[in-house]
Amino acid sequence: MYEKIQETAAWLKARINTRPDTAIILGTGLGRLADEIEIAQSISYSEIPNFPQSTVEGHSGKLLLGKLGGKDILAMQGRFHYYEGYSMKEVTFPVRVMYELGIKTLFVSNAGGGTNASFNVGDIMIITDHINLFPEHPLRGKNFPTGPRFPDMSEAYNKQLIALADEIAQEKGIKVQHGVYLGTQGPTFETPSEYRMFARMGADSVGMSTVPEVIVANHCGIKCFGISIITDLGVEGRIVEVSHEEVQRAANEVQPKMAEIMREMIRRS
């Protein structure tokens, strides 16, 4: 796997005209941010050697290079989910490649079901920490030379970036929540009892992504910042039927605010 990562990174380095140190995984709800990138290069995942291919509706598969907030950035339009059948090594492959390309800061977004009773649909939750409930650990197996065998996770989400996001949100009058994101494999949404269990475990939002990528980024010493858009509620008495379309719709509505925060963070960080 390590050779494959090196091979992919070398292939990309030979084609990329910039050397960005910031990357964004454009998860659900950040599609619009892609429109704000002054795109210089767009590389389809299907062209990139060893890159997994995206299958899920609403996630196209392209690597974008360009400027956002006046900075050179790399963006992943379309990510790989464990529920699609990829192994954890495949899910996190792009993050390993990012490290080889010189990425130092990673911005991620996702859609999540809110398990915190004070949340509402459409809330923007800044992820302060996570709980990993995926059945396979992305660092299982031979240790990669990018980090220690037993990596520290005491600040998986960078505190300075969280403070910066708060400052920007306040300036722009955008309401944000803080909370713990719990990552689970999906593809089912939760039963009411599962939502209750996750809430008791300490989760404020639950979703099917982000945690693997953030673990591997931490293992590579990449600083992480994440936002979870609350697209539905897993709160007793307020649980309604949820569908992928509903999740997309709720996430799309908050896109402009999300994009504003992310763009400004990149400009100032």
Q: Which residue number, 189 or 225, has a Cβ lying nearer to ligand HPA?
A: 189
Q: Which stretch binds ligand HPA (CB under 6 A): 9-17, 129-137, 150-158, 206-214?
A: 206-214
The CA distances from residue 260 to 151, 165, 252, 255, 264, in Å, are 33, 10, 14, 8, 6
Q: Which stretch binds ligand HPA (CB under 6 A): 53-61, 109-117, 147-155, 255-263?
A: 109-117
266 binds ligand HPA (CB under 6 A): no
- Three-state SS for the chain is CHHHHHHHHHHHHCCCCCCCCEEEEECCCCHHHHHHCEEEEEEEHHHCCCCCCCCCCCCCCEEEEEEECCEEEEEEECCCCHHHCCCHHHHCHHHHHHHHHCCCEEEEEEEEEECCCCCCCCCEEEEEEEEECCCCCCCCCCCCCCCCCCCCCCCCCCHHHHHHHHHHHHHCCCCEEEEEEEECCCCCCCCHHHHHHHHHHCCCEEECCCHHHHHHHHHCCCEEEEEEEEEEECCCCCCCCCCHHHHHHHHHHHHHHHHHHHHHHHHHC
Q: At closest approach, how far in Å is the CB of 116 from ligand HPA? A: 12
Angle at 179 between CA 153 and CA 124, to 5 degrees: 125
109 binds ligand HPA (CB under 6 A): no
Tell which one of 52, 61, 78, 113 touches ligand HPA (CB under 6 A).
113
Q: Which residue number, 73 or 182, has a Cβ lying nearer to ligand HPA?
A: 182
Contact letters for ligand HPA, residues 174-203 (x by CB under 6 A): ---------------xx-------------
- Size of site (CB under 6 A) for ligand HPA: 13
Structure tokens at 252: 């799309």
Q: At closest approach, how far in Å is the CB of 254 from ligand HPA? A: 13
The CA distances from residue 123 to 3, 106, 111, 204, 255, in Å, are 41, 22, 10, 12, 11
Contact letters for ligand HPA, residues 58-87 (x by CB under 6 A): ------------------------------
94 binds ligand HPA (CB under 6 A): no
Tell which one of 25, 43, 208, 227 touches ligand HPA (CB under 6 A).
208
123 binds ligand HPA (CB under 6 A): no
Q: At closest approach, how far in Å is the CB of 110 from ligand HPA? A: 7
Which residue's Cβ has the minimum distance to ligand HPA? 113
Q: At closest approach, how far in Å is the CB of 149 from ligand HPA? A: 31
**Residues within window 223-252 making contact with ligand HPA, judged by CB under 6 A:** 231-232, 234, 242, 247
Tell which one of 29, 31, 52, 112 touches ligand HPA (CB under 6 A).
112
Which parts of this chain interact with ligand HPA (CB under 6 A)? 111-113, 189-190, 206-208, 231-232, 234, 242, 247
